Chains A and B, each alone.
Chain A
Amino acid sequence: NAGVTQTPKFQVLKTGQSMTLQCAQDMNHEYMSWYRQDPGMGLRLIHYSVGAGITDQGEVPNGYNVSRSTTEDFPLRLLSAAPSQTSVYFCASSPVAGGRTDTQYFGPGTRLTVL
Chain B
Amino acid sequence: QQPVQSPQAVILREGEDAVINCSSSKALYSVHWYRQKHGEAPVFLMILLKGGEQMRHEKISASFNEKKQQSSLYLTASQLSYSGTYFCGFSGNDYKLSFGAGTTVTVRA
Contact = CB atoms under 8 A, between A and B. Distances in A.
B95 A42 contact: no
Given A42-B102, A58-B96, A100 B87 contact: no
Interface residues of A, number: 28
A110 B95 CA distance: 24
Contacts, number: 70
A41 interface: yes
B101 A107 contact: no
Contacts of B91: 99-101
A38 to B, nearest CB: 10
Interface stretch (A16-24, A44-52, A69-77, A78-86): A44-52
B98 A100 contact: no
A105 to B, nearest CB: 8
B97 A103 contact: no
Contacts of A103: 44, 47
B47 A42 contact: no
Interface in B1-52: 1-2, 5, 29-30, 32, 34, 40-44, 47, 49
Given A42-B2, A42-B101, A109-B41, A104 B32 contact: yes
A64 B49 CA distance: 31
Nearest to A43: B99
B30 A44 contact: no
Given A43-B87, A90-B41, A107-B41, A98 B97 contact: yes
Given A42-B102, A107-B41, 18 more contacts: A40-B101, A42-B2, A42-B5, A42-B87, A42-B101, A44-B98, A45-B96, A48-B95, A59-B96, A59-B98, A90-B42, A99-B96, A100-B95, A100-B97, A101-B91, A104-B34, A104-B44, A104-B97
Interface of B: 1-2, 5, 29-30, 32, 34, 40-44, 47, 49, 87, 89, 91, 94-102
Interface of A: 31, 33, 35, 40-45, 48, 50, 56, 58-59, 90, 97-109
13 contacts: A33-B97, A42-B87, A44-B99, A45-B97, A48-B95, A48-B96, A58-B96, A59-B96, A90-B41, A90-B42, A99-B94, A100-B30, A104-B42
